[in-house]
Structures are given as structure tokens and as C-alpha cells.
Amino acid sequence: MRSVLTPAALRDRGQVTIEFLGMTPTIIVTLIALWQVVLVGYTFILAGNAADEAVRQATAAEPGARQAACEAAGLKHLSEAWRSGADVTCGGSGYVTADVNLQVPILFPGTLSFPFTVHGHAGAVEEAD
């Protein structure tokens, strides 16, 4: 059996293709925005974890070697994309704190970064001998 297209059906041929092509830029922009949100969230996770690692090592280190141990531990688990703009500082006596600042990459880690930083903070009581 052969299907016969009416004049109304002939006018609507290709409509789905045209509508999809019209929506393609919107779909792409939405996917890019979602990816950027994921990168911002991942940067927050990395900053918090780096601060936790840094303060953990800083509490076990001697006061004179605290900053070096803190910085090494804070940067240890960061990939080069986040490590290049990272700032790790530790301070305090008795109650040690670590602050980590990371730059948020734009779309691809290791290329451009936004002009704001994500801050991670952690604190722990100094270990006794």
C-alpha cells in the first residue's frame, strides 16, 4: 500500500529538522553553562580538601617547618591546572588554620581563569608531643 501525502503534510516536511537546528545554539549554550557550574563546584571541593590536607600536616609539623609542610600537603593532590594559581597559607598556635585559594578555570582547566578565587578553610588543634 502506498501512502499519499496531502498538501498540508507536504508543507510540514522538514519541520522537525528546522526546529532542531533552531534549538541547537540554545542546547549548546545550556551545556556550556552546566559544565562551567560543574567546574565551579569541583573547585570548591578541591579547595576544601586541600585545606583539610594542609592543616592535617601542619598540626603534626614543628612550628618552624609548619608553612612548608602545610603548603606541600595543600598542593599535593591538586592537578597542575589548579596548582598553578593556588595559594596555601597556615597559621596559628595551638589551633592551626589553613587557607587555600584556588582560581576557577573557564571551560577548560589549565587555560583561562575567572578573576575571582574560591576559598577553602580548615582548622585543627595542634598535636602534642
Determine which helix (DSSP H) or strand (DSSP E) holds 123, and give its type and residue range. Answer: strand 113-125
> Is residue 9 pLDDT above 80, yes or no?
no
Among residues of the chain, what percentage have pLDDT more than 90?
40
Asked if 96 and 115 touch (Cβ cutoff 8 Å), the reply is no
The letter for the amino acid at 21 is L
Q: What Å distances lie between residue 32 and 7, 71, 107, CA to CA?
A: 41, 33, 8
Going along the chain from its start, the domains and CATH numbers come out as 7-125 (3.30.1300)
Strands 87-91 and 95-105 turn out to be antiparallel
What is the strand order of the sheet 95-105 is part of? 87-91, 95-105, 113-125
Residue with cell 582560581: 103
> Is residue 96 pLDDT above 80, yes or no?
yes
Averaging pLDDT over each range in 3-7, 55-59, 123-127, which range is the top one? 55-59
Averaging pLDDT over each range in 16-25, 38-47, 82-91, which range is the top one? 38-47
Instruction: Record the pTM.
Output: 0.80
Q: Which residues contact 39 (CB under 8 A, 6 or more apart)?
A: 104, 105, 107, 109
SS3 for 37? helix
Higher pLDDT, 8 or 118: 118
